[in-house]
Chains A and B, each alone.
Chain A
Amino acid sequence: MDVIKVKNLTKKFDDFTAVDHISFDVAEGEIFAFLGPNGAGKSTTIKMLTTLLTPSEGTIELNGHDPVNDSNAVRHSIGVIFQDPSVDDELTAFENMEFHGVLYGLSRKERRKRIKELMEFVELWDRKDSLVKEFSGGMKRRLEIARGLLHHPKVLFLDEPTLGLDPQTRNHMWSYLQELNKTKKMTVFFTTHYMEEADRVAKRIAVIDHGKIIASGSSAELKAQTRTEYLEDAFLALTGKEIREEEGSTLDRMRIHRRVRGR
């Protein structure tokens, strides 16, 4: 059974086409890697799959529901770990988890039990009452992963989840996700720039560039198709070696602004 079905999905911003008529399916219980250079359309696609953006064209079916017309059903089925941190710095780690649990309608008993379990797993239970602003980047990431799993999603989306994580944390995270994938049949949809990571964990890979899916298959298939030995070389053969410009965000400017204003 396919838990994600995407047909002719397109997103246009004014006259720029970020995602251009892509179609793909992800089977239930699959670990699916979505690869592409910066600005290829990965994050835009994830935003459409997770109900944050409305597609310009095309259809999506997620766990049998349409993200546009039935967004609440989709939101119940998914967990999302975003590229940028999305924890509240001014709350404690525990409060961030609690906030999430309440939003997803978990009962108090269930919430407390799962929060303890997950925070112990990411080794943050002893820091549960610390404000998140005191955490390092890696700790925030671990907290986000624990939070994303709190409501036992059918499909977990991870947008560059291992960015800035050390190999220990990365391995720890993936072995847990693979375990959940096996035991709970949780589907995992992730993007990454680390090719060896995709090679190691993904059952299937799709490569997107300039808004179009240019190749898909298992890592072995992609390597065979491009006659390369490593996935990184296959990726470069598919997408070229030219360095991509990513649109500058206002975030850096904002950070400075925020520091100056003292909050």
Chain B
Amino acid sequence: MKTIYILWLRQLKRYIRSKSRIVGSLAQPLLFLLALGYGMGPVFQKAGQGNYIQFLAPGIIGMSIIFTSIFYGLEIIWDRQFGFLKETLVAPVSRFNIMIGRTLGGATVATVQGVIVFLISMLVGFRPVSFPLALVAVLFMLLVAILFSAIGITIASLLDDMQGFQLIMNFLVMPLFFLSGAIFPLQNVPGVIEKIAMFDPLSYGIDAFRQLLVNISHFGLMTDLTVLVAVTLFFLSLGSYFFSKVQI
């Protein structure tokens, strides 16, 4: 327990100290909120779908969570290249605990980012339907963050260096985000897109945020929860398996 805590604490400290990274990582969601929210808003309204900022904000919260948690999962590759991973691996701590500590660390950071984006979106006009439900949404943010941290660690365990980073961003993270229904409703989209979104775990995360924040849902909250928990458990096991095989 103590070892998981200290690994978690380390990632939090690193996060708080990287001021430029915090600011940098908030610029993108803000840009999306402003450009898409205000740019596409009138079209969305005319199509009879209501206020676009209300629809978009949960998706952008999901975006900042997936980007941050995958990034912090992949940070293991840095640790490996710069030697610190060795320090943890020669210590009398099981690989499983290391994996859990890191996952929770990355997930906490990503959740904090998600909450910050939530607050920023309120500045540009977003209003959640109820604050108690918004608190439940934060729990879902943590669940989604754990899921994608575990995916990040799974990938990081299979890569030797950061060369593959762009590949992962362009072929995994971007498609997961754009095809998740984060920026458009899944109702009435072509069947292919809807099918793809059904296999994208982020879709369920964002759907849950929407249900809790603005009371719109495509899959239903119970389905969201079930899928998210199942996929999270799957990637936690897969991640700890691959991480246990890491050799330096």
- B130 interfacial by beta-carbon distance below 8 Å: no
In the complex the two chains form, is B83's CB within 8 Å of A86's CB?
Answer: yes
- A27 interfacial by beta-carbon distance below 8 Å: no
Say which residue of B17, B90, B247 sits within 8 Å of A78 (CB atoms).
B90
In the complex the two chains form, is B91's CB within 8 Å of A103's CB?
Answer: yes
Contacting residues of chain A (101-116) with chain B, CB-CB under 8 angstroms: 102-105
Say which residue of B3, B10, B81 sits within 8 Å of A251 (CB atoms).
B81
Please, which residues of chain B bring their CB within 8 A of the CB of A214? none
- B20 interfacial by beta-carbon distance below 8 Å: yes
In the complex the two chains form, is B81's CB within 8 Å of A90's CB?
Answer: no
In the complex the two chains form, is A254's CB within 8 Å of B162's CB?
Answer: yes
In the complex the two chains form, is B14's CB within 8 Å of A91's CB?
Answer: yes
In the complex the two chains form, is A75's CB within 8 Å of B81's CB?
Answer: no
In the complex the two chains form, is A82's CB within 8 Å of B83's CB?
Answer: yes
Which residue from chain B places its CB closest to the CB of A52 in the assembled complex?
B248
In the complex the two chains form, is A52's CB within 8 Å of B20's CB?
Answer: no
Say which residue of B81, B89, B93 sits within 8 Å of A52 (CB atoms).
B89
Contacts A103-B88, A103-B91 given; does A263 touch B18 at CB 8 Å = yes
Contacting residues of chain B (54-85) with chain A, CB-CB under 8 angstroms: 78, 81-84
- B13 interfacial by beta-carbon distance below 8 Å: yes
Taking the nearest CB of chain A, how far is it from the CB of B77, in angstroms?
Answer: 9
- A237 interfacial by beta-carbon distance below 8 Å: no
In the complex the two chains form, is A53's CB within 8 Å of B91's CB?
Answer: no
In the complex the two chains form, is B248's CB within 8 Å of A102's CB?
Answer: no
In the complex the two chains form, is B18's CB within 8 Å of A90's CB?
Answer: yes
Residue interface mask B8-38, A partner, CB < 8 A = 1: 0010011001101100000000000000000
In the complex the two chains form, is A72's CB within 8 Å of B92's CB?
Answer: yes
Interface centre among B21, B87, B93, B163 (most CB of A within 10 A): B87
Residue interface mask B193-220, A partner, CB < 8 A = 1: 0000000000000000000000000000
In the complex the two chains form, is A103's CB within 8 Å of B18's CB?
Answer: no
Say which residue of A78, A87, A90 sits within 8 Å of B13 (CB atoms).
A90
Number of interface residues of B (CB under 8 A): 31
Say which residue of A50, A89, A262 sits within 8 Å of B20 (CB atoms).
A262
Taking the nearest CB of chain B, how far is it from the CB of A4, in angstroms?
Answer: 15
Say which residue of B2, B13, B91, B247 sits within 8 Å of A75 (CB atoms).
B91
In the complex the two chains form, is A254's CB within 8 Å of B81's CB?
Answer: yes
In the complex the two chains form, is B92's CB within 8 Å of A76's CB?
Answer: yes
In the complex the two chains form, is B10's CB within 8 Å of A99's CB?
Answer: yes
A102 to B17, alpha carbons, bound, how many Å? 21
Which residue from chain B places its CB closest to the CB of A108 in the assembled complex?
B2
Taking the nearest CB of chain A, how far is it from the CB of B171, in angstroms?
Answer: 19
In the complex the two chains form, is B248's CB within 8 Å of A257's CB?
Answer: no
A108 to B13, alpha carbons, bound, how many Å? 20
In the complex the two chains form, is B83's CB within 8 Å of A85's CB?
Answer: yes
In the complex the two chains form, is A86's CB within 8 Å of B20's CB?
Answer: no
In the complex the two chains form, is A87's CB within 8 Å of B92's CB?
Answer: no
Taking the nearest CB of chain A, how far is it from the CB of B11, in angstroms?
Answer: 10
In the complex the two chains form, is B2's CB within 8 Å of A102's CB?
Answer: yes
- A38 interfacial by beta-carbon distance below 8 Å: no
A113 to B21, alpha carbons, bound, how many Å? 35
Which residue from chain A places its CB closest to the CB of B94 in the assembled complex?
A72
A226 to B161, alpha carbons, bound, how many Å? 43
Please, which residues of chain B bring their CB within 8 A of the CB of A98? 6
Residue interface mask B172-202, A partner, CB < 8 A = 1: 0000000000000000000000000000000
In the complex the two chains form, is A82's CB within 8 Å of B86's CB?
Answer: yes
A252 to B86, alpha carbons, bound, how many Å? 18
Say which residue of B5, B17, B89, B163 sits within 8 Å of A90 (CB atoms).
B17
In the complex the two chains form, is B18's CB within 8 Å of A75's CB?
Answer: no
Please, which residues of chain A bring their CB within 8 A of the CB of B3? 102-103
A211 to B247, alpha carbons, bound, how many Å? 19
- A21 interfacial by beta-carbon distance below 8 Å: no
- A250 interfacial by beta-carbon distance below 8 Å: yes
In the complex the two chains form, is A88's CB within 8 Å of B10's CB?
Answer: yes
Interface centre among A80, A86, A131, A258 (most CB of B within 10 A): A86
Taking the nearest CB of chain B, how far is it from the CB of A158, in angstroms?
Answer: 13
In the complex the two chains form, is A53's CB within 8 Å of B88's CB?
Answer: no
A257 to B160, alpha carbons, bound, how many Å? 15
Q: A51-B89, A262-B20 are in contact. List 7 more A-B contacts (CB 8 A).
A: A54-B247, A76-B92, A90-B18, A103-B91, A254-B82, A254-B162, A263-B18
Residues in chain B within 8 A of chain A (CB atoms): 2-3, 5-6, 10, 13-14, 17-18, 20-21, 78, 81-84, 86-94, 160-163, 247-248
Residues in chain A within 8 A of chain B (CB atoms): 47, 50-54, 72, 75-76, 78, 80, 82, 84-91, 95, 98-100, 102-105, 131, 147, 250-251, 253-254, 257-258, 262-263
- Listed from nearest, the 7 A-B pairs whose CB atoms lie closest are A86-B83, A103-B91, A75-B92, A102-B6, A84-B83, A86-B87, A90-B14
